[in-house]
Amino acid sequence: MQMAQIEFSKELTAFIDEWKEKPGSLIMMLHRIQEEFTYIPREAAEKLSRSVGLPLAKIYGVITFYHYFKTSKPGKHRLAICLGTACYLKGAQDLIDEARAILSIKGDEVTDDGLFSIDEVRCLGCCGLAPDLMIGNEVFGKVTKDQMPEIIAKYRDK
């Protein structure tokens, strides 16, 4: 069985070479891979496994344990909607339901145009702004479901 080939940038390769011998660096390397590809393709996990001498099962154990890591390509604009306690109690599930209705997607799907995906996250660290969501590096606080169409429209045009 032949494994698919994937190319790492020179910067990523150098990063992995620098950190592969240091204990506890797997998560850092996975973050860097996801930064390069926007998710962690299986081929990248296989290549990392060969590069650092770790079993693929161990790498996937870490990838699947942490909600942050993605194994499928997300939309260009990833809506991270907080379901932490404060956000949940203030209506975050309504935000998720509204966003899915507007975008016509379910679960971890990506819109047909590849622009949007929705991630249910446990905390964005903005509990005082509950309910909140994040798109890219922009945080929206005290969001109501009536604001969702306008927020999504802002990114549809980018």
Alpha-carbon torsion (76, 26, 138, 130), positive or negative? positive
pLDDT score for 1: 45
* Residue where the block lists tokens 């009536």: 146
Residue 131: asked if its preceding bond is cis (omega within 30°), the reply is yes
Q: What is the 3-state secondary structure (H, E, C) of 4-51?
A: CCCCCCHHHHHHHHHHCCCCCCHHHHHHHHHHHHCCCCHHHHHHHHHH
pLDDT interval class at 158 (50, 70, 90):
confident
In this prediction, residues 3-30 reach a mean pLDDT of: 92
pLDDT score for 73: 92
In this prediction, residues 153-157 reach a mean pLDDT of: 92
pLDDT score for 97: 97
pLDDT score for 3: 52
User: Which residues lie across from 52 on neighbouring strands?
Assistant: none
In this prediction, residues 135-152 reach a mean pLDDT of: 96
Mean pLDDT over all residues of the chain? 93
Three-state SS for 152? helix
CA distance 103 to 116: 8
What are the pLDDT digits (tens) for 72-116? Answer: 999 999 999 999 999 999 999 999 999 999 999 998 899 999 999
Q: Is the pLDDT of residue 2 over 70?
A: no
Domains of the chain: which residue ranges?
Answer: 10-65, 77-156
pLDDT score for 26: 96
What are the pLDDT digits (tens) for 44-71? Answer: 999 999 999 999 999 999 999 987 899 9
Q: The CATH number of 77-156 is which of 1.10.3720.10, 3.40.50.720, 3.40.50.2300, 3.40.30.10?
A: 3.40.30.10
CA distance 51 to 18: 11
